[in-house]
Amino acid sequence: MSDQRSPDKRSTFPLPLSSVTGGATRKPGAPAPVATPQTATRNASSAASTGTRASFAPAQPAPSPRPPGYAHAHAPSAPVAQRSDLMASEAVRRAMVGRVAKQGVKDGVVLGAMEAVPRHLFIEPALSAQAYIDASLPIGHNQTISQPYIVARMIEAMRASLPSGAQMGRVLEIGTGCGYQAAVLSFVAREVYSIERIKPLHELAKTNLRPLRISNLRLQYGDGMLGLPQVAPFDGIILAAAGLEVPRALLEQLAIGAHLVAPVGAQVQHLERITRIGKNEWASETLEACHFVPLRPGTI
């Protein structure tokens, strides 16, 4: 099937993996547009006033008055819409990010991304009052949305080698879940690929992310333990499920000098950061204790 689209047809979001593997490749020097916190907040405010979900419009990053690397997550010209749903408030997101920062996350780009993405849009309405507490929450199928601190900590660890404020290139997420972490990653990388093995969750993530129109994010239904060799190497890889060891296929898809961050273990788990230092050489370090759902092969 041709990948060309007629001029009057609008792209669907999130973009499918086939949009880069089955058609014309993007020319060097022309990275996909990245949504910025400014547009995210402006569109979230507009959506709140109409009762619809937010929309992330692609835009170029704007200078930030915050400390280096902190993505400014507010649009001064767009006040928060008045509505009974307190979860739409920027202040609620700022408070969440403040708690994350107090726990030790220092990367300003990560904190800005966390502040920009409305977490309550990825959670069942019955749990929306808990959307911004620092806890994991169920999303169905015995899976969870990770607690905000862990999301931020893992992304920060993956970005460890970058200069302050720099953006990553191509990253891979194993375990899309409801799509929240993928949305956060879209603020810190030019290209984001995310794999989910549970079909209903893959569809849920598409539903959650579609209104946001994030143009640098592509979702794939498949076995995350196999990765995506057709678009490797990756400048960073994050696993949202714990195995006894990291699959070899994922290690081989990591670019030299890049980091993979994953929970490792069974009953007792810890975050591990693995750095590829040569064609057949990797180094690992233990970061901290954690608890994740198990990493499993295949699809369901």
State pLDDT tens for residues 191-228: 999 999 999 999 999 999 998 899 999 999 999 999 99
Fold of 32-290: Rossmann fold (3.40.50)
CA pair distance 181, 94, nearest whole angstrom = 17
Q: Which pLDDT belongs to residue 19?
A: 54
Structure confidence at residue 288 as a pLDDT band (50, 70, 90):
very high
- Give the mean model confidence (pLDDT) for residues 11-33: 48
146 an active-site residue?
A: yes
What's the Cα-to-Cα distance from 26 to each of 81, 237, 255, rounded to whole Å? Answer: 38, 22, 20
Instruction: Say if residue 147's pLDDT is above 50.
Output: yes
Percent of the chain at pLDDT above 70? Answer: 71
User: By C-alpha distance, which of 127, 117, 124 is closest to 152?
Assistant: 117
Judge contact between 246 and 180, C-beta under 8 A: no
- Give the mean model confidence (pLDDT) for residues 66-77: 34
Q: Which pLDDT belongs to residue 144?
A: 95
- Give the mean model confidence (pLDDT) for residues 61-82: 34
Q: Which pLDDT belongs to residue 83?
A: 34
Structure confidence at residue 85 as a pLDDT band (50, 70, 90):
low
Give me the amino acid identity at 232. Answer: A
- Give the mean model confidence (pLDDT) for residues 143-152: 97
Q: Which pLDDT belongs to residue 38?
A: 42
Instruction: Say if residue 46's pLDDT is above 60.
Output: no
Structure confidence at residue 87 as a pLDDT band (50, 70, 90):
low
Instruction: Say if residue 122's pLDDT is above 60.
Output: yes
Q: Which pLDDT belongs to residue 104?
A: 97
- Angle in degrees, CA 184, 75, 145, rounded to 5: 20
Judge contact between 235 and 259, C-beta under 8 A: no
Instruction: Say if residue 292's pLDDT is above 90.
Output: yes
Mean of per-residue pLDDT scores for the chain: 80
Structure confidence at residue 13 as a pLDDT band (50, 70, 90):
low
- Give the mean model confidence (pLDDT) for residues 125-136: 93
Which residue among 45, 55, 64, 146 is the active-site one?
146
Structure confidence at residue 151 as a pLDDT band (50, 70, 90):
very high
CA pair distance 54, 97, nearest whole angstrom = 19
